[in-house]
Structures are given as structure tokens and as C-alpha cells.
């Protein structure tokens, strides 16, 4: 595939995954960054890279439904081939997921299906799990229940706090997320129904890099 795929990234915070997605891109370009918080640090990074940004704030809309409809409209207006959630702290409505299904991905800081939702590192440390990590998955209407694309894991140390775990897992996220997005853009990873399919090249690279994938 010669033409780069257009990716819109949705953020709410500092934008470290946005930075990694932009700096490690292959086969795609970050076309736009949307945020539901005007103070999101990732906005400054995007602007420094010449990436168009847009902020949508809940208080500017009469109700939650109107706000979520505006987020969908703003994302659709960017005409993305793929949409990447990168710390976007908002529950997406069914209409958003339906509009972008199969093109909408998220990174979650746990080895799904373990610890969906929030406070993943606190819960992992409290549960004294041996292995922890992150997952990139397609987004569906559930909470972190979409088809898992790939995972990266590490072994927790007994002395690790939730803060330690978060910092160590974040480094995994920065490697895994752009790798997945690149192969989605290049066509090496596809979705058929709820089954993720991988090219032989992707399977080889996953093994080399220590990523876990789920070939059928």
C-alpha cells in the first residue's frame, strides 16, 4: 500500500501515546487530534508538530447526548481511515462505535480480559498477579471487551507499587501501540467479524518482539 492511511487520535491527557504514535508511524499519518479537555498536554505536542487539533468541552453543550453527538461529528469530519483512542476519558456512545467499528482501536493498561475499566495497576498489584501489561483492541459496545489485537507483558516485582507498574507498562504501550497501528494501516492486521487476522509478516514480527497475538 503506497498511500498513507489517515488516523485521528482522541486524547484527554498528557499525550504520551499520541507522541509515540506520531514518532513511530509507518504507513499512516496522524491527521487530527481531538480532546475533551482544553488543558490536555497532548494538544501542545500536536500543535508543535503541525497536527490540527480540536477541543470539545461538555459544558459547552446543553446535555451529555448533545456533547457526545458533537464528538462523533467532529471525529467524522476529519475523515479518518482509523481512529485511535489514546487515554480518551469518555465513554463512547453506540452511534460512535457503530460509525467507526472495525476502524476504532484503543490501548488498555492491562492484559485483557483481566482488569477492564479503571485503576488497572492498583488492582493488579493488589491481586498480586505475576504478569501485567497492556492490550490493544478493537472497540465494541462493552467496556474493554472488543477483539484483542495484541498484548505486551512484563513480570511484576514483589516490591512494585501501582506507580511503578504504571511507569513500566507505559513503556510497553509506547512500543506496542504504533506497531499495531502501523500494521493495521499497512493491511497486515485485519478484522473479520470479531476475528483478528494477521499476515505471516506480522506473526513473525510479533514473535521477534515478544508481543502476544491471537491467530485463529
Q: Would residue 22 show up in a list of annotated catalytic residues for this protein? A: no
Of the candidates 87, 60, 179, 4, the residue with the CA atom closest to the CA atom of residue 74: 60
CA distances to 14, 54, 61, 83, 176 from 173, rounded to whole Å, are 14, 24, 33, 17, 5
The one catalytic residue in 22, 60, 99, 108 is: 108
* Of 84, 89, 74, residue with least CA distance to 14: 89
The residues, any chain, with a CB within 8 Å of residue 31's CB and separated by 6 or more, are: 6, 7, 8, 51, 52, 78, 79, 80
Q: Are 147 and 138 in contact (CB under 8 A)?
A: yes
Helices marked H in the chain — which ranges?
16-23, 41-48, 64-77, 94-100, 120-127, 162-186, 200-209
Q: Which helix (H) or strand (E) holds 216?
A: none
Reference 213, options 108, 115, 199, 106; nearest CA is 199
Residues identified as active-site: 108
Amino acid at each position: 500500500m503506497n498511500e498513507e492511511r489517515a488516523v485521528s487520535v482522541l486524547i484527554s491527557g498528557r499525550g504520551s501515546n499520541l507522541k509515540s504514535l506520531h514518532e513511530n508511524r509507518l504507513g499512516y499519518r496522524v491527521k487530527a487530534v481531538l480532546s475533551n479537555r482544553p488543558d490536555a498536554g497532548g494538544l501542545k505536542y500536536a500543535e508543535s508538530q503541525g497536527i490540527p487539533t480540536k477541543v470539545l468541552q461538555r459544558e459547552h453543550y446543553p446535555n451529555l447526548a448533545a456533547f457526545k453527538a458533537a464528538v462523533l461529528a467532529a471525529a467524522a469530519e476529519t475523515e479518518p481511515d482509523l481512529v485511535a483512542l489514546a487515554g480518551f476519558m469518555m465513554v463512547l456512545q453506540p452511534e460512535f462505535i457503530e460509525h467507526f467499528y472495525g476502524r476504532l482501536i484503543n490501548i488498555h493498561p492491562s492484559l485483557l480480559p483481566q482488569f477492564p475499566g479503571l485503576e488497572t495497576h492498583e488492582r493488579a498489584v493488589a491481586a498480586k498477579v505475576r504478569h501485567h501489561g497492556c492490550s490493544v483492541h478493537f472497540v465494541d459496545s462493552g467496556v474493554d471487551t472488543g477483539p484483542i489485537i495484541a498484548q505486551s507483558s512484563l513480570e511484576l516485582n514483589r516490591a512494585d507499587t501501582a506507580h511503578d507498574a504504571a511507569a513500566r507498562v507505559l513503556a510497553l504501550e509506547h512500543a506496542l501501540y504504533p506497531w499495531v497501528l502501523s500494521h493495521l494501516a499497512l493491511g497486515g492486521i485485519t478484522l473479520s467479524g470479531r476475528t483478528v487476522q494477521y499476515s505471516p509478516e506480522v506473526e513473525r514480527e510479533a514473535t521477534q518482539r515478544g508481543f502476544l497475538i491471537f491467530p485463529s
